Amino acid sequence: MPNLNRTPLHDLHCELDARMVPFAGYEMPVQYYDGVLWEHLHTRASAGLFDVSHMGQVRVSADTLEEAQLALEALVPVSVLGIPEGRQRYGLFTGEAGGILDDLMIANQGDDLLLVVNAATKEQDIAHLSANLAGCSVTPITDRALLALQGPASEAALSDHVPGVAEMRFMDTSVLDWNGVELWVSRSGYTGEDGYEVSVPSSKARALAEALLASEAVIPIGLGARDSLRLEAGLCLYGSDIDTTTTPVEAALEWAIQKARRRDGEREGGFPGASRILEELESGAPRRRVGVLPDGRAPIRAGARIFREGSDDPVGEVTSGGFGPSLGRPVSMGYVEIELSGTGTALEAEVRGKRMPVTVADMPFRPSTFKR
Partner 1 sequence: MKFTEDHEWLRVDGDLVVIGITEHAAEQLGDVVFVELPEAGTQVSSGDDIVVIESVKAASDIAAPVDGEVVEVNDALADTPGLVNADPLGSAWFVKMKVDDPSQLDGFMSEDEYKDMIA
Residues that bind partner 1 (CB under 8 A): 30-31, 35-38, 40, 224, 228, 297-299, 301, 322-323, 325, 330, 352
* Residue 200: closest CA among 192, 215, 211: 211
CA triplet 193, 194, 198: central angle to 5 degrees?
110
For residues 75 and 138, give the distance between their C-alpha atoms in angstroms, rounded to a whole number. Answer: 14
Nearer CB in complex with partner 1: 36/176 = 36
Angle at which helices 36-45 and 223-232 pack, to 10 degrees?
60
How far, CA to CA in Å, does 322 sit from each of 155, 165, 225, 228?
29, 33, 11, 7
Q: How far is the CB of 257 from partner 1 (least distance, A)?
A: 34
Nearer CB in complex with partner 1: 38/370 = 38
Q: How far is the CB of 328 from partner 1 (least distance, A)?
A: 9
Q: How far is the CB of 298 from partner 1 (least distance, A)?
A: 5
Nearer CB in complex with partner 1: 67/295 = 295
Nearer CB in complex with partner 1: 100/219 = 219
Q: How far is the CB of 227 from partner 1 (least distance, A)?
A: 9
CA-CA-CA-CA torsion for 175, 177, 178, 183, nearest 10 degrees?
20
Nearer CB in complex with partner 1: 35/286 = 35
For residues 272 and 268, give the distance between their C-alpha atoms in angstroms, rounded to a whole number. Answer: 12
Q: How far is the CB of 351 from partner 1 (least distance, A)?
A: 9
Q: At residue 189, what is the residue type?
A: G
Q: How far is the CB of 37 from partner 1 (least distance, A)?
A: 4
Cβ(194)–Cβ(372) below 8 Å:
no
Nearer CB in complex with partner 1: 162/351 = 351
Contacts 24+ apart (CB under 8 A), 19-27: 19/222, 21/223, 23/54, 23/119, 23/223, 24/54, 24/118, 24/119, 24/120, 25/54, 25/119, 25/120, 26/54, 26/119, 27/1
Nearer CB in complex with partner 1: 278/331 = 331
Q: How far is the CB of 225 from partner 1 (least distance, A)?
A: 8
Q: How many residues does the chain have?
A: 372
